[in-house]
Amino acid sequence: MIAKIDEVIERAVIANRMDTITKEMGYALERSSRSPIFAEACDFACGICNGDGDLVSQINGIPILAAAGTFSIKEVIRKYSGQVEEGDVFIINDPYQGGNHLPDIGIITPLVVDEEVIFYCVSRAHHGDIGGSVAGSYNAKATEIFQEGLRIPPIKLVSKGQVINEVMDLITRNVRNPDMLQNDLWAQIGANKIGVRRLKELIHTYSSSKVKETVGYLLDHAERLTRQAIKELPDGDYVGEEWVDDDGFQLNPIRIKVTVRIRGEQMTLDFKGTDPQVKGFVNSAFVTSTTAAWIGALWALGSDIPRNSGAFRGIKVVLPEGSLVNPKDPAPVTLSTLTPASEIISAIFQALSSIKGVQLPAGFGRYCGPSFYGIDPRTQEFYVGFAFCALGSGGGTLGRDGYPYMAPLSNYGGVRAPNIEANEIQYPHLTLCHEMESNTAGSGKWRGGAGIRYSILFQGEPTNIVMFGDGMKIPPFGAASGKSGSLNYVEIKTVQGETICLASKESTRSLAHGTILTVVSSGGGGWGDPWQRDPERVWRDVLDEIITVDKAEQDYGVLIGQEGVDWAATNDRRSGNQR
């Protein structure tokens, strides 16, 4: 019995140590990187995989990036089987060969002990520019992946500790900000190096055989928890649908359909019925779609299940070839980690929310905003930036209002809103407004998070913007009789005073010095009947300017007087059900 308890404690120590290592990798990456998208927005994820490429531990960073690391490593193993040596570092970004989309570059570093690869450390991060025909690499008018940037298959960047300069030069020669990209690659390599060092220390303490045995146990344990959670759900077929606004070429909505089949301890996510791949860049390649499907399923199955490859074993994902969620090479895919990855998760939510006892949130806002680039008049240096301060908000769920600033669903708050003052130093624009917008939160017993109004004044001649995103036609869905959230809205006001509304997907537009851009992002969907919301909560929302007095009466049946809730009028209105 004593030995058994010791073994349990030892496994827990090793498991927690690996989680700590991934966190340390993330801290190192954040603090050593140079670009705002790394250091400010933290658009990255770090993980540890075993020698077979199975994900063992991951940092709580960007969900859509973290689990994808296992695919990249398995591509490295497939290509370099028997050729992986101590001191090697691999690089990859090709969505059709283990990557998400081209801006997300994966750096993979093996840990070799006695000529055996025990672990791989992986950092995957979004770089500000990876070439292609548009700075920032979000080309809303791309019709093939070659127009989106540089494709990097799994290749060695470092061999036995020596940088392969020809590979580094080839990559940096094809991007617009080579020094920044190279610095961020060094940051990723350094983060992995720390991971390898800490894993060596772990093996030195417990031996490679003990650590490998524990990893096997952790994967099997996650599988058991997943299958048990699936078994507790009633067998059946559950169908969910979600829609993408359009692809920027044709204006019709694009359907994502999923049938969730539960049979005993097995769950299958079958996307048959999803619309065919499209011309524009909203296609989602196999890795991104599979990762999004895992996120949606595990969210429903419970937070106590470790997010590793063992958990994925009980979840089968079927992605019809040639569809929006599994396009054929060379279809463009850059928007995929935002849309439709979030809508894949959303479709699964809507399918599984019909099961009694499964508690899932209402719809989340979708990302919609510009990248912007040009020459900074203060320094005469080229810059590329993104409107991360205009993120949308999350949907309400049983017992809790939706969080603001949590969208899109595929990132779930992983992308941080940059500091306004830092943003104004890094980019030649001035922030005029950054606040929650009234009457954007989806009404419900538990309302959605409010959307964000973000206005900036561009300085410099010219500033170029490219619009990318979704959610201008299809709002975040309401759940359990809750109301839907608001739509995204983007406009520019020219120096002549003209107001121009922008579409969610637009090619490069040049703006004159003094142009003002305003984004009003989506509020999340509401959960539950709004008329069941506590009137005191409605009053607090009025005080906080989340909703107006008229909205309180119209959607919630709550009448507000000078002193707060008019209880007599509210009770009369609600009892009469005068909706």
Q: How far apart are CA 79 and CA 83, in angstroms?
A: 9
Can you give the pLDDT at residue 1? 43
Phi, psi of 432 (to 5 degrees): -100, -30
pLDDT exceeding 90 applies to what percent of the chain?
91
3-state secondary structure 36-69: HHHHCCCCEEEEEEECCCCEEEECCCCHHHHCCH
Give the pLDDT confidence of 244-275 residue by residue, as tens digits: 999 999 999 999 999 999 999 999 999 999 99
- The DSSP result for 361-405, as a single string, is --PPPPPEEEEEEEE-TTT--EEEEE-GGG---PPPBTTBPPPTT
Q: How far apart are CA 370 and CA 238, in angstroms?
A: 36
Q: How far apart are CA 76 and CA 309, in angstroms?
A: 17
User: How far is C-alpha 518 from the chain's CA centre?
Assistant: 23
The answer to whether 103 and 62 have CB atoms below 8 angstroms apart is no
Q: Which amino acid is at 491?
A: E
Whether 444 has a pLDDT exceeding 70, the answer reads yes
Give the pLDDT confidence of 370-407 residue by residue, as tens digits: 999 999 999 999 999 999 899 999 999 999 999 998 88
pTM listed for this prediction: 0.96
Q: How far apart are CA 273 and CA 258, in angstroms?
A: 7
Q: Which amino acid is at 42?
A: C
Q: How far apart are CA 445 and CA 418, in angstroms?
A: 31
Instruction: Give alpha helix (H) positions in 98-232.
Output: 165-172, 178-206, 208-231
Beta bridge partners of 113: 116
Can you give the pLDDT at residue 577? 66
Q: Identify the three-state secondary structure at position 525.
A: coil
| E strands present in 114-161 | 116-126, 155-159
Give the pLDDT confidence of 123-165 residue by residue, as tens digits: 999 999 999 999 999 999 999 999 999 999 999 999 999 999 9
Give the pLDDT confidence of 499-513 residue by residue, as tens digits: 999 999 999 999 999
Contacts of 440 (CB under 8 A, 6+ apart): 393, 450, 451, 485, 486, 520, 521, 522, 523
User: 2 versus 133: which is more confidently predicted?
Assistant: 133
Q: How far apart are CA 518 and CA 155, in angstroms?
A: 42
Beta-sheet strand order (sheet of 236-244): 236-244, 254-263, 266-270, 315-318
Beta bridge partners of 318: 270
Matching residue, tokens 């919630």? 556
Can you give the pLDDT at residue 181? 96
Where are the domains positioned within the chain?
2-206, 231-360, 365-533, 535-576
Give the pLDDT confidence of 519-568 residue by residue, as tens digits: 999 999 999 999 999 999 999 999 999 999 999 999 999 999 988 999 99
Mean per-residue pLDDT of the chain? 95
What is the pLDDT confidence band of residue 576, given thresholds at 50, 70 and 90?
Answer: confident
Contacts of the segment 486-489: beta carbons below 8 A, 24+ positions apart: 486/365, 486/437, 486/439, 486/440, 486/441, 486/442, 486/451, 486/520, 486/522, 486/523, 487/522, 488/365, 488/366, 488/368, 488/392, 488/519, 488/520, 488/521, 488/522, 489/519, 489/520
Instruction: Give alpha helix (H) positions in 81-207.
Output: 165-172, 178-206
Helices H / strands E in the chain, number of each: 14, 22
Whether 194 has a pLDDT exceeding 80, the answer reads yes
Can you give the pLDDT at residue 40? 85
Whether 50 has a pLDDT exceeding 70, the answer reads yes
Q: How far apart are CA 570 and CA 354, in angstroms?
A: 32
Give the pLDDT confidence of 70-127 residue by residue, as tens digits: 999 999 999 999 999 999 999 999 999 999 999 999 999 999 999 999 999 999 999 9
The answer to whether 76 and 90 have CB atoms below 8 angstroms apart is yes
Closest to 397 measured CA to CA, from 344, 476, 452: 476
The answer to whether 394 and 524 have CB atoms below 8 angstroms apart is yes
Beta bridge partners of 370: 467
Q: How far apart are CA 579 and CA 577, in angstroms?
A: 6
